[in-house]
Structure 1
């Protein structure tokens, strides 16, 4: 995946995870809350992966 794809997928998972987490809170559903939190964390990791790829590419291009 490209850095842009990683960042977009990460933002999607972060947003979807937050929505699940909040829905779980509203419904008092701990399992849904947990799923949402995990998806949110996965999204943050994916976004970080994309940013890291981008920075690494910049460093390589400047060499």
Structure 2
């Protein structure tokens, strides 16, 4: 179960991060772009954690 939750949160954070980056690009706001990149990377890490949990049978 933890695998699916981590992956779902990961996809959501990745999408939100990409949206923030696009908004920062449109507004020429480097702080918002950086915040979006951070959130995107957090999402990728969450998806990776979900994949690892899936491979190990949620014992992590």
TM over 0.5: yes
Larger radius of gyration: 1
Instruction: Provide the rounded CA distance (Å) in 2 between the counterparts of 1:52 and 1:11.
Output: 15
The corresponding residue for 2:28 is 28
Could you list the runs of 5+ residues in structure 1 that have no partner in the other structure? none
TM-score, with normalisation over the residues of structure 1?
0.88
TM-score, with normalisation over the residues of structure 2?
0.92
Give 4+ residue runs of structure 1 displaced > 2 Å after superposition.
none
Task: Kindly tell me the number of residue pairs found equivalent between the two proteins.
Answer: 59
Instruction: Provide the rounded CA distance (Å) in 2 between the counterparts of 1:13 and 1:47.
Output: 10
RMSD between superposed Cα atoms in Å: 1.7
Higher helix share: 1
